[in-house]
């Protein structure tokens, strides 16, 4: 068994492990209170869904633009040419190009956080699937990162657009802000995220869709929420 530090033990005493919290603002205030990290920790949500990701019709995948962002500077790379290249630069993309960026990435460069591409670029970008895919950086039309509306995609990504995908165990993880955020702003982000999760409920899902919800900061104990709030 791992040895827990004094601060962690003090934090866990403030969380009722048997309780399923129903007040989102209370949860966010509590996660701020029990966070003992010396840095501005991420606040994350983990949702266990009643789906089987092995079946294509039960795959839950999407993106949400959090109303208050995630408190992180996002470096955006765009694969585009011509007018779309200009559009990407004007929207605030950090890196824009085509063959030059493909070659740079093939040589081992990954100094960016998100990648977006116009549909006509996917023939070139497809060659990077083996290196971008495992890093979660491959542009995908299902989450809006393969699009002709480049300006919107860049601005949303910079503002705090979060992509998510259900894991093999049926769990979706996503950041919803930082410990430095006000509790009400974290609550707003949480609500926006859960609204999208509910909208993406597969039609083939049987039984309870949302089985559990846990909120925590990077190194704090998890706080369990009552699923009825969603």
Q: What tokens were used for 61?
A: 């995948």
Where do the domains of the chain lie, and which CATH numbers do they carry? 13-60+166-229 (3.30.190.20), 76-159 (3.40.50.790)
pTM over the 0.75 mark: yes
What local confidence, expressed as pLDDT, does residue 194 receive?
A: 97
Q: Using CA atoms, how far apart are residues 154 and 226, in angstroms rounded to an integer?
A: 35
Report DSSP letters for 78-133, one per residue.
Answer: EE--THHHHHHHHHT-SEEESHHHHHHHHTT----SEEEE-GGGHHHHGGGHHHHG
Rounded Cα distance, 62 and 196, in Å: 8
105, 174, 176, 186, 226 from 217: Cα distances, Å: 32, 11, 10, 12, 18
CA dist., res. 176 & res. 44, Å (int): 6
C-alpha dist (Å) from residue 60 to 79, 152, 171, 190: 26, 23, 10, 17
Q: What is the pLDDT along the chain (230 residues), one digit of tens a residue?
A: 455 555 555 566 667 677 898 999 999 999 999 888 788 899 999 999 999 999 999 999 998 989 999 888 899 999 999 999 999 999 999 999 999 999 999 999 999 999 999 999 999 999 999 999 999 899 999 889 999 999 999 999 998 889 899 999 999 999 999 999 999 999 999 999 999 999 999 998 888 999 999 999 988 889 999 998 87
Q: What is the pLDDT of residue 6?
A: 59
């Amino acid at each position: 068994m791992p040895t827990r530090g004094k601060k962690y033990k003090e934090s866990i005493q403030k969380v009722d492990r048997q309780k399923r919290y129903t007040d989102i603002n209370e949860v966010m205030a509590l996660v701020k209170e029990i966070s003992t990290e010396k840095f501005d920790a991420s606040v994350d949500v983990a949702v266990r869904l009643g789906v089987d990701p092995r079946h294509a019709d039960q795959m839950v995948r999407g993106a949400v633009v959090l109303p208050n962002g995630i408190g992180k500077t996002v470096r955006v790379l765009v694969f585009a040419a011509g007018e779309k290249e200009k559009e990407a630069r004007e929207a605030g993309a950090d890196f824009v190009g085509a063959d030059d960026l493909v070659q740079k990435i093939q040589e081992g460069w990954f100094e960016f956080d998100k990648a977006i591409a116009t549909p006509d670029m996917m023939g070139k970008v497809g060659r990077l699937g083996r290196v971008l895919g495992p890093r979660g950086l491959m542009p995908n039309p299902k989450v809006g990162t393969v699009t002709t509306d480049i300006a919107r995609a860049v601005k949303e990504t910079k503002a705090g657009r979060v992509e998510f995908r259900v894991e093999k165990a049926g769990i979706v993880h996503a950041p919803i802000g930082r410990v430095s955020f006000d509790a009400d702003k974290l609550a707003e982000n949480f609500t926006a995220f859960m609204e999208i999760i509910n909208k993406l409920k597969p039609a083939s899902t049987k039984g309870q869709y949302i089985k559990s919800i846990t909120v925590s900061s990077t190194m704090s104990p998890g706080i369990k929420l009552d699923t009825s709030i969603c």
